[in-house]
């Protein structure tokens, strides 16, 4: 599935069905006659409520006075209703006379129109999604992430919502099975390599006992955090979760496997979106969605090639300064740099990560003008290295999930911390949340801006001096930058130029020095979500270009903290809107 600003766009989804079907009239009630500023907020609320999972991820249930107890729907009638809502909201948004609107209201109305037009551009491709794999992982991983990481868990009401969501998993898995059948009936066929990987993953989860499913295991872990519940209450909830899994979840996954088995003869060897009906239009639409720009696949491909060449030269220069010979392949350089320097073991990993985080936080004032009253937690987990922002309604705090098992090479550890916390994703979300924006502007999620800032922040950390006297970690930073760059080439190579999985994986290994298993996993993501992986590279390049233009225009008057403060305090914006906002700021500074 394709997410647009926190709302699904490729196959617009909605809450799982209630006892009383919702109609379009119900969804539009009260919107007629609203002034533009009120309509914008109401329209966004009606949109976001159609995706309960996104609402939980952003943290809007408390603001919109609803619950976190449903899952998104893949049922055709719900998808069509969401599409009808998009069209109706766009018609009303376009009906307003913008001539005398205040600048901020006009900006927000144009932003809402852009959002709706982008969603509607996705409507013809509602059957092209692949719900069984996304950037969070396979379907089981997606559920675990929702239940463990984003679902709030503060008391009894949240436990009840959790159990309701367990019940909804069975319904959603059945909807996904039917979605895949309809997809095939419409001539959209799964690449065999993607199909095979999914079958291997699902085949490893043939649960027999409800309490042994990861969804109930997660429930047991989270129940231990609620001191207000008695042991008897925790046990009762745990057993209820096990019963739901046995009666609903396990049978639904078995039915999904049956459907997948029935599709085994319908797979295709090509992994390119272009191999599907109107695949070229689908891929162009995805690129426009994820980048928010009107770029052709050829343009994205060339951007990637240029950036790969630049970064390879920089990486080789850094490697030469460390004593590596010029004839070594990049993969061998990165391998030797990884194994020949410091490792952290067990709990020492957490100590190292905490030190990196605190050092980065202490230097934030070098890049933004804002005092911090921060509440970022670091939580140890088995597989970490990722960040989850605080919920807007206060139901979940900001967390950096730090892996602490086995051993971790120092080589790329700093870059992961800086990208996810300071000056990366956490700094961005903190700046947005503390800027006094409307709910609409605070809740927006533009893929190219969010991923682009995180990638841009990797280099910004170097500018902040966070890699001083650490050439090994700086080489790790350059490899991470290369991995972003090669994805522009590989994604367009697959979906426009028709590369095979082998060709794409080999390119990732040769050009960015990736390990082959990691390259194979990344190719699977390219197959499942065409266009998704280009957002970071395109976004970072765009932000860098905006900065270069501002530096050129302002000369000695250019203020880097002021620039970043303005850049981040407007919310997560599509890149053309970001460019407009920053151009206005430059004019004001002149």
Taking only the tens place, the pLDDT of each residue in 384-397 is 789 999 999 999 99
Please give the share of the chain, as a percent, with pLDDT higher than 70: 96
How far apart CA 441 and CA 58 sit, in angstroms, is 12
3-state secondary structure 544-555: HHHHHHHHHHHH
Average pLDDT over residues 489-498: 98
CA dihedral 444, 447, 448, 452 (to 10 degrees): 100
Taking only the tens place, the pLDDT of each residue in 528-580 is 999 999 999 999 999 999 999 999 999 999 999 999 999 999 999 999 999 99
Taking only the tens place, the pLDDT of each residue in 143-171 is 999 999 999 999 999 999 999 999 999 99
- Mean pLDDT, the chain, whole residue set: 93
- From residue 7, how far is each of 52, 55, 282 by CA, in Å? 9, 9, 18
How far apart CA 480 and CA 478 sit, in angstroms, is 5
Average pLDDT over residues 197-224: 89
Split at pLDDT 50, 70, 90, the class of 486 is: very high
How far apart CA 103 and CA 581 sit, in angstroms, is 11
Q: Residue 108: which residues within 8 A CB-CB, separation 6 or more? A: 37, 40, 438, 440, 441
- From residue 217, how far is each of 141, 210, 221, 224 by CA, in Å? 13, 9, 6, 11
3-state secondary structure 503-545: HHHHHHHHHHCCCHHHHHHHHHHHHHCCCHHHHHHHHHHHHHH
Angle between helices 156-185 and 214-223 in degrees, nearest 10: 160
The pLDDT of residue 314 is 97
Domain boundaries, the chain: 1-126, 138-269, 285-341+412-536
């Amino acid at each position: 599935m394709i997410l647009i600003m926190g709302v699904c766009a490729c196959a617009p989804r909605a809450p799982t069905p209630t006892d009383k079907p919702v109609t379009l009239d119900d969804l539009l009630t009260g919107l007629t006659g609203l002034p533009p500023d009120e309509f914008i907020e109401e329209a966004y609320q009606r949109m976001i409520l159609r995706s309960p999972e996104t609402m939980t991820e952003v943290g809007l249930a408390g603001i919109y006075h609803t619950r976190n107890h449903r899952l998104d729907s893949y049922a055709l009638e719900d998808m069509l209703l969401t599409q009808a809502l998009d069209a109706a909201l766009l018609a009303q948004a376009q009906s307003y006379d913008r001539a005398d609107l205040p600048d901020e209201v006009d900006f927000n109305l144009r932003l809402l129109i852009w959002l709706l037009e982008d969603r509607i551009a996705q409507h013809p491709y509602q059957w092209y999604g692949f719900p069984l794999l996304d950037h969070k992982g396979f379907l089981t991983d997606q559920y675990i992430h929702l239940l463990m990481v984003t679902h709030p868990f503060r008391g009894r009401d949240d436990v009840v919502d959790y159990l309701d969501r367990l019940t909804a998993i069975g319904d959603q898995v059945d909807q996904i099975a039917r979605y895949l059948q309809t997809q095939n009936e419409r001539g959209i066929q799964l690449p065999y390599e993607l199909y095979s990987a999914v079958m291997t993953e699902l085949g490893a989860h043939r649960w027999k006992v409800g309490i042994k499913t990861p969804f109930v295991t997660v429930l047991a872990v989270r129940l231990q955090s609620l001191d207000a519940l008695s042991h008897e209450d925790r046990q009762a909830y745990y057993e209820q979760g096990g019963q739901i899994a046995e009666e609903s979840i396990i049978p639904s996954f078995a039915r999904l496997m049956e459907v997948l088995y029935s599709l085994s003869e319908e797979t295709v060897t090509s992994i390119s979106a272009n191999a599907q009906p109107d695949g070229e239009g689908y891929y162009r639409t995805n690129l426009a969605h994820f980048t928010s720009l009107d770029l052709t696949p050829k343009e994205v491909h060339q951007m990637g090639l240029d950036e790969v060449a630049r970064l390879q030269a920089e990486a080789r220069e850094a490697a030469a300064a460390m004593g590596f010979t010029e004839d070594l392949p990049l993969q061998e350089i990165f391998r030797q740099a990884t194994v020949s320097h410091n490792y952290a073991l067990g709990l020492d990993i957490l100590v190292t990560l905490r030190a990196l985080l605190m050092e980065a936080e202490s230097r934030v004032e070098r890049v933004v003008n804002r005092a911090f009253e921060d509440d970022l937690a670091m939580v140890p987990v088995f597989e970490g290295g990722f960040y989850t922002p605080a919920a807007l309604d206060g139901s979940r705090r900001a967390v950096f999930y730090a892996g602490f098992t086995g051993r971790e090479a120092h080589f790329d550890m700093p870059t992961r911390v800086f990208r996810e916390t300071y000056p990366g994703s956490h700094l961005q979300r903190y700046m947005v949340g503390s800027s006094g924006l409307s709910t609409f502007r605070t809740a927006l999620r533009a893929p190219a801006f969010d991923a682009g800032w995180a990638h841009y922040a990797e280099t910004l950390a170097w500018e902040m001096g966070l890699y001083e006297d650490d050439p090994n970690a700086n080489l790790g930073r350059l490899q991470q930058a290369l991995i972003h760059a090669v994805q522009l080439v590989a994604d367009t190579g697959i979906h426009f130029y028709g590369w095979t999985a082998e060709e794409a994986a080999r390119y990732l290994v040769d050009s960015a020095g990736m390990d082959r298993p990691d390259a194979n996993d990344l190719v699977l993501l390219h197959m499942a979500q065409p266009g998704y992986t280009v957002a970071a590279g395109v976004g970072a390049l765009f932000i860098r270009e905006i900065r270069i233009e501002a530096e050129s225009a302002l000369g000695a008057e250019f203020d880097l903290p002021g620039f970043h403060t303005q850049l981040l305090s407007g919310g997560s914006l599509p890149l053309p809107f970001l460019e407009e906002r920053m151009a206005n700021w430059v004019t004001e500074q002149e």
